[in-house]
């Protein structure tokens, strides 16, 4: 199974500030994914982080609010900008298909999540 | 996009009981995974099962892709089985995007 390290594991932030979440995977992957889980809800995809190109955002999520970086094939960051209490959620990163062809990985793994509370 | 509905939404069991969780999806899929989210929020992979049947200890899963549903069976439940169970699918037409179901919240009591 993949090893995905995510940090911080939790944080309490003041409204109007920004938080950057880091995600490190143990293999080179073509894509990485960022999800949000609001309290009591299911997981919703925020965006797909592509190496060498802009992230692809899902409907309802914009780059100004959730800027994403993908500097290499094993690392990505998600920033939650200008936070409000409505941003209080668990944010999870996930790995995508392996870069090396032929190893064919279909199973998607998740980091332990970042539990964010905004006051 | 694809819709993924799970039932029941909530389930309370006594320790030792068996249960069946269902996942219905609205389109053909090439990937289906079952996850257990523990009380600390960690998502644990249970099964990768786009079709067929698999078993792992007290858990087993069956996916009937042609009828667009999957079932997760939990036998002899234990308190450590408590948490939320999610199925997640990739629609045949949407490449790598994994869409999560609505979830089933399970509580196992002594």
B96 closest CB neighbour out of A31, A44, A110: A31
Whether the bond into A8 is cis, omega within 30 of 0: yes
Sign of CA dihedral A93, A39, A66, A60: positive
Q: How many domains does chain B have?
A: 1
- Whether B9 has its CB under 8 Å from any CB of chain A: the answer is no
Q: pLDDT tens for residues B41-62?
A: 899 999 999 999 999 999 999 9
The domain containing residue B72 runs over which residues?
4-109
Contact between A5 and A102 (Cβ < 8 Å): no
Cα A78 to Cα A90: distance, rounded to the nearest angstrom:
12
Q: pLDDT tens for residues A3-59?
A: 899 999 999 999 999 999 999 999 888 889 999 999 999 999 999 998 888 999 999
- Whether B91 has its CB under 8 Å from any CB of chain A: the answer is no
Cα A93 to Cα B68: distance, rounded to the nearest angstrom:
27
A33: DSSP letter: E
Q: Please identify, in words, the CATH class of the domain defined by A27-98.
A: mainly beta
A109 closest CB neighbour out of B40, B45, B99: B45
Contact A45 B97 (CB under 8 A): yes
- Whether B42 has its CB under 8 Å from any CB of chain A: the answer is yes
């Amino acid at each position: 199974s993949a090893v995905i390290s995510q940090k911080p594991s939790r944080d309490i932030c003041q409204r109007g500030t920004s938080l950057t979440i880091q995600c490190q995977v143990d293999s080179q992957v073509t894509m990485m994914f960022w999800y949000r889980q609001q309290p009591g809800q299911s997981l919703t995809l925020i965006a797909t982080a592509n190496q060498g190109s802009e992230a692809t955002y899902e409907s309802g999520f914009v780059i100004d609010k959730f800027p994403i970086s993908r500097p290499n094939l094993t690392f990505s960051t998600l920033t939650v900008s200008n936070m409000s209490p409505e941003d209080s959620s668990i944010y999870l990163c996930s790995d995508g298909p392996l870069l090396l062809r032929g190893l064919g990985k279909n199973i998607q793994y998740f980091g332990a999540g970042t539990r964010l509370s905004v006051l | 996009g694809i819709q993924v509905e799970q039932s029941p939404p909530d389930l309370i069991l006594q320790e030792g009981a068996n249960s069946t969780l269902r996942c219905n999806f609205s389109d053909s899929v090439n990937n289906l995974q079952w996850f257990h989210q523990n009380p600390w929020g960690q998502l644990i992979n249970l099964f990768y099962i786009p079709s067929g049947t698999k078993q792992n200890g007290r858990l087993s899963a069956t996916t009937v892709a042609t009828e667009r549903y999957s079932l997760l069976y939990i036998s002899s439940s234990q308190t450590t089985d408590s948490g939320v169970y999610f199925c997640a699918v990739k629609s045949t037409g949407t490449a790598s995007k994994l869409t999560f179901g609505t979830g089933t919240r399970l509580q196992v009591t002594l």
